[in-house]
Amino acid sequence: MITRAGWGTLAASVLLDAVAAPLGYQQAGALSAGGIAAVGAGLLWTLRRPRLEVRREVTPVKVARGDAAIAMLRVTNRGRWRRNGLEAHDTCRDTAIVVDVPPLARNSTGTVSYRLPTRRRGETPVGPLRLDRADPFGLARRTTSYGQADLLLVRPRTVPLEPLNSGRQRHLDGSASRSPSGTITFNGVRDYVIGDDLRHIHWRSTARTGTLMVKELEDVSLPYTTTILDTRAGAYGGDDEFELAVDAAASVAWSATRRRFPVRLLTGAGELLSAKGGAEEAETVLDRLALVERATDADAPADVVRRAGSGGALVLVTGARTALTGVASVRRRFDQVVCVWVGSSSADDGPLVVPGVTVIEIGDLAELAAAWPH
């Protein structure tokens, strides 16, 4: 393929010959012929496809927003001749990445790494990768595609937060519909499963049914957190505010699940996750929130709260001041209510005060960690 420089050289050569030939300028004719010959030589230089083995690795495949993600490119020359002038072209979302590949002798391998942009959350396609080989004068170029696009998952940033004080101690009979399995309160009996503690066998029920039965125990005092993320398109002043809101919601839910406390995560589109807690579910929280986007038809936080049940702690993350007053009417349904407001207040707005609700105004994650209730 002829490059722009090559087409320019051809056009200049033809024009020079057309002007100089009628006037008898032989030197100009020689220059014109030389330009055309240079373009032809460039095409011959790049005509044959180079025998290359190309491998690209993206590490890590999951990364927090703003953290480093590296693409490692390894190119091996399997041809008989030394290869110079190789240029790798990669894409990551809307960003074009161009890197020079070092000269490769026969059967040698060159390695080059480059950083991928991770400012935006979501599934980020990387590639497909192209290798360009140009002639020494840049008049002709051959482009070859290698492999398929890889996926880089950019997840929210998080800060560790202490679980909010909440529980189910007010249930006198010890039953709680969403309590995870625990070791404190008797809630019934069930069939024995291999691996159950033999000390929990309920012998009276076993004798009556003829089948091994074990006591089902529940810990009714574990902190239970319901996190609601406002995903309405007009609730935030811009993309940066929404990204911070997602980071805040992720910090709340991730911190609770990694401490093995149950969490329910809701958005304006419905339930995103219901977790009993654990390291794997903490990773799932980040994976799910990596794909959350704003929507014009998302429900208002007040409507989401009405469907959220009751009990435990409620955390609302929003960028709309009007959304905070909506949770005041349901605060009695929860042990503790925290509203995280993302944005910047003006002097005319005044402080955010909602009776019975802890309001935290943040401009970054550090402010969330500093103001979080302990």
- The residue among 343 and 111 whose pLDDT is bigger is 111
What is the model's pLDDT at position 235?
92
The two tokens of residue 226 are 């319901």
The two tokens of residue 23 are 């006037």
pTM across the whole model: 0.75
Q: Break the chain into its structural domains and give their ranges.
A: 4-47, 52-155, 181-218, 225-371
Place of tokens 């009405």: 306
319-339, pLDDT tens digit by residue?
998 887 777 777 888 888 999
Average pLDDT value for residue range 87-104: 90
Provide the mean pLDDT of the chain.
84
The two tokens of residue 363 are 């401009």
Q: Which fold has domain 225-371?
A: Rossmann fold (3.40.50)
Say if residues 246 and 229 touch (Cβ distance below 8 Å): yes
From first CA to last CA, the distance across the chain in angstroms is: 65
- The residue among 320 and 29 whose pLDDT is bigger is 320
In CATH, what is the architecture of 52-155? Sandwich (2.60)
Instruction: Return the beta strands (E) in the chain as ranges.
Output: 52-59, 62-64, 69-77, 86-92, 95-100, 109-116, 122-126, 129-134, 141-146, 150-155, 181-191, 213-218, 225-229, 263-267, 270-275, 313-318, 336-342, 358-362
For residue 89, is pLDDT > 60?
Answer: yes
Task: Determine the distance from the C-alpha atom of residue 147 to the mean position of all C-alpha atoms in its chain, rounded to a whole number.
Answer: 23
Query: Which residues have a Cβ under 8 Å from the Cβ of 293 and sit 6 or more positions away?
Result: 122, 231
Domains 52-155 and 225-371 belong to one CATH topology: no
What is the model's pLDDT at position 109?
93
CB-CB neighbours of 346 under 10 Å: 7
Residue 348 class from Cβ within 10 Å (0-12 exposed, 13-18 middle, 19+ buried)? exposed
CA atoms within 13 A on the CB side of 372: 22
41-81, pLDDT tens digit by residue?
767 767 677 789 999 999 999 999 999 999 999 999 998 88
247-258, pLDDT tens digit by residue?
999 999 999 999
Residue 91 class from Cβ within 10 Å (0-12 exposed, 13-18 middle, 19+ buried)? middle
